[in-house]
């Protein structure tokens, strides 16, 4: 990290991102229990995941131009404040429809954090340094999905699922204070960026940029596989394989540890091997993980340990891809960074929502839906890289 950038800036950015991740990971151990609580189906409960991700994706297309037009600081602060209110609504929900509504509100508001963090990193560091910061950033926020399900499982068993959202409210309040106190404005507000014609022109230019879209969709495909597992994983391990709710988080932590190792490896070798080689290794690891998951389902050699092991290969690759593809996309983009980060994030989370929706629709109590989405996303990612991305000059 550049010595000219105060350490407190990445710290508060990581804290805000952790709150975003906690909004899902604290809640996942409760998912298999909510159909009975609300008197509904598993597919209906899974909508609280897929629609949250869809809202997260859509709202980034708005937050990006806002970050270019009004600056980064105000957008992320207002996003966090509204996220706190949405989290209170989740905690007070008395029906599945109410919970789904406020989960959508969480997605719409916390997506401001995703856009602004990416843009601030690109504002403050060049491409190679930014990729290393992204890897370090990925390692840091990976602690949230590692410990979130563990904490969430014990809280669910002790105080009920609502308590997880009250904990989230408290964490988000602390993060908001930290952002207000320490995050400076890193961009130059450009009100012209808010003009509808300018916004549409920026997005049109980005979508016509084959290289940018290649890296963007590639990053989105790994999110598709990841959120397919996050959505269906609790049902597989807790309901199908009998893992106690409070122990589910330990299996999740093993997968997150693999992601952490992937991010750490990327950070260490980025300068030596270059972004493209690290990215290709990430794609290879995801293919191994996806294929392994599929083989386990086909052969019947399916246990909580083997499923978590296959998913760990995928997660290691995710750490490599997520450290490299977003930075490449933002580098080759020729529009405003806010709009580029917005379309990047919207594509990632939109494809993540598609993965979550797919396993919800295909839900049959087995691991087959996850295996098909996971392996399919890895194969499509490879095809996008081989056929859809022009060889960049490094």
On whether residue 256 sits in a domain, the answer given is yes
Mean pLDDT within 84-110: 95
Residue 309 banded pLDDT, cuts 50, 70, 90? very high
Q: Is the pLDDT of residue 104 over 90?
A: yes
Q: Is the pLDDT of residue 391 over 60?
A: no
Residue 294 banded pLDDT, cuts 50, 70, 90? very high
On whether residue 330 sits in a domain, the answer given is yes
Spatial separation of the C-alpha atoms in residues 212 and 215, rounded to whole Å:
5
Radius of gyration of the chain from its Cα atoms, rounded to whole angstroms = 20
Q: Is the pLDDT of residue 296 over 90?
A: yes
Q: Measure Cα distances from 118 to 33, 59, 87, 342 in Å.
A: 35, 15, 23, 9
Buried b (16+ CB within 10 A) or exposed e, 2-36: eeebeeebbebbbbbbbbbbbbbbbbbbbbbbbbe
Mean pLDDT within 269-290: 89
| 75-84, 86-95, 326-335, range with the lowest pLDDT | 326-335
On whether residue 164 sits in a domain, the answer given is yes
| 57-61, 299-303, 305-309, 373-377, range with the lowest pLDDT | 57-61
Provide the token pair at 157: 């068993």
Q: Is the pLDDT of residue 11 over 60?
A: yes
Mean pLDDT within 345-372: 87
On whether residue 193 sits in a domain, the answer given is yes
* CATH number of the domain within which 169 lies: 1.20.1250.20
**Contact yes or no for 85/125 (Cβ under 8 A):** no
- Residue whose pair of structure tokens reads 């992320």 in the numeric block: 76
Residue 211 CB neighbours (<10 A): 17
Mean pLDDT within 228-242: 89
Residue 383 CB neighbours (<10 A): 12
Spatial separation of the C-alpha atoms in residues 9 and 43, rounded to whole Å:
40
Length of the chain in terms of residues written: 394
On whether residue 1 sits in a domain, the answer given is no
Q: Is the pLDDT of residue 126 over 50?
A: yes
On whether residue 367 sits in a domain, the answer given is yes
- Give the residue numbers spanning the domain of 218: 8-388
Mean pLDDT of the chain: 86
Provide the token pair at 335: 């529009």
Q: Whole-model pTM?
A: 0.76
| 84-88, 115-119, 249-253, 321-325, range with the lowest pLDDT | 115-119
The most distant pair of C-alpha atoms in the chain lies apart, rounded to whole Å, by 58
Q: Is the pLDDT of residue 393 over 60?
A: no
- List all residues 6 or more positions away from 257 whose beta carbon is below 8 Å from its beta carbon: 142, 146, 312
C-alpha angle 27-33-36 in degrees, rounded to nearest 5: 135
pLDDT tens by residue, 177-231: 999 999 888 777 777 767 888 778 888 888 888 888 999 999 999 889 988 998 8
Q: Measure Cα distances from 260 to 263, 315, 318, 366 in Å.
A: 5, 9, 9, 28
What is the signed CA dihedral for 344, 348, 353, 356, rounded to 10 degrees?
180
Residue 170 CB neighbours (<10 A): 12
Count of domains forming the chain: 1
On whether residue 393 sits in a domain, the answer given is no
- Residue whose pair of structure tokens reads 């957008």 in the numeric block: 75
Spatial separation of the C-alpha atoms in residues 3 and 22, rounded to whole Å:
30
**192: exposed, middle or buried (Cβ count in 10 Å: 0-12, 13-18, 19+):** exposed
Spatial separation of the C-alpha atoms in residues 297 and 303, rounded to whole Å:
10
- Residue whose pair of structure tokens reads 């508060």 in the numeric block: 12
pLDDT tens by residue, 251-275: 888 888 898 888 889 878 887 888 8
| 63-67, 167-171, 218-222, 369-373, range with the lowest pLDDT | 63-67
| 57-71, 98-112, 373-387, range with the lowest pLDDT | 57-71
On whether residue 117 sits in a domain, the answer given is yes
């Amino acid at each position: 990290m550049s010595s000219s950038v105060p350490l407190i800036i990445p710290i508060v950015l990581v804290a805000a991102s952790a709150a975003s991740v906690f909004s899902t990971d604290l809640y996942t151990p409760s998912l298999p229990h909510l159909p009975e609580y609300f008197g509904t189906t598993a597919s209906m409960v899974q909508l609280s995941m897929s629609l949250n991700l869809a809202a997260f994706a859509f709202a980034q297309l708005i937050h990006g131009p806002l970050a270019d037009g009004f600056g980064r600081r105000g957008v992320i602060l207002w996003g966090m404040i509204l996220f706190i209110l949405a989290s209170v609504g989740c905690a007070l929900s008395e029906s599945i429809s109410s919970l789904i509504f406020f989960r959508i509100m969480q997605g719409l508001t916390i997506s401001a954090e995703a856009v602004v963090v990416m843009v601030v990193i690109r504002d403050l560091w060049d491409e190679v340094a930014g990729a290393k910061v992204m890897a370090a950033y990925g390692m840091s926020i990976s602690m949230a999905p590692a410990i979130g399900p563990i904490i969430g499982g014990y809280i669910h068993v002790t105080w009920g699922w609502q308590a997880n959202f009250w904990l989230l409210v408290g964490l988000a309040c602390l993060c908001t204070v930290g952002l207000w106190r320490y995050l400076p404005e890193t961009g130059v507000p450009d009100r012209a960026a808010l003009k509808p014609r300018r916004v549409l022109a920026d997005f049109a230019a980005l979508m016509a940029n084959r290289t940018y879209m290649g890296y963007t969709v590639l990053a989105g495909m790994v999110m598709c596989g990841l959120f397919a597992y996050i959505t269906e994983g609790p049902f597989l391990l807790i309901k199908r394989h009998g893992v106690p709710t409070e122990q589910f988080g330990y299996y999740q932590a093993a997968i997150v540890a693999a992601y952490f190792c992937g991010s750490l490896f990327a950070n260490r070798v980025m300068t030596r091997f270059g972004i493209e080689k690290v990215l290709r290794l990430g794609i290879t690891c995801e293919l191994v993980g996806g294929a392994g998951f599929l083989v386990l389902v086909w052969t019947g050699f399916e246990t909580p340990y083997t499923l978590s092991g296959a998913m760990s290969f995928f997660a290691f690759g995710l750490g490599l891809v997520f450290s490299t593809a977003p930075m490449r996309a933002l580098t080759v983009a020729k529009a405003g960074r806010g709009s580029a980060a917005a379309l990047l994030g919207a594509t990632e989370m939109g494809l993540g929502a598609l993965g979550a929706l797919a396993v919800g629709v295909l839900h049959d109590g087995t691991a087959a839906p996850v295996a098909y989405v996971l392996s399919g996303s890895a194969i499509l990612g490879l095809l996008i890289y081989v056929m859809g991305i022009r060889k960049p000059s490094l």
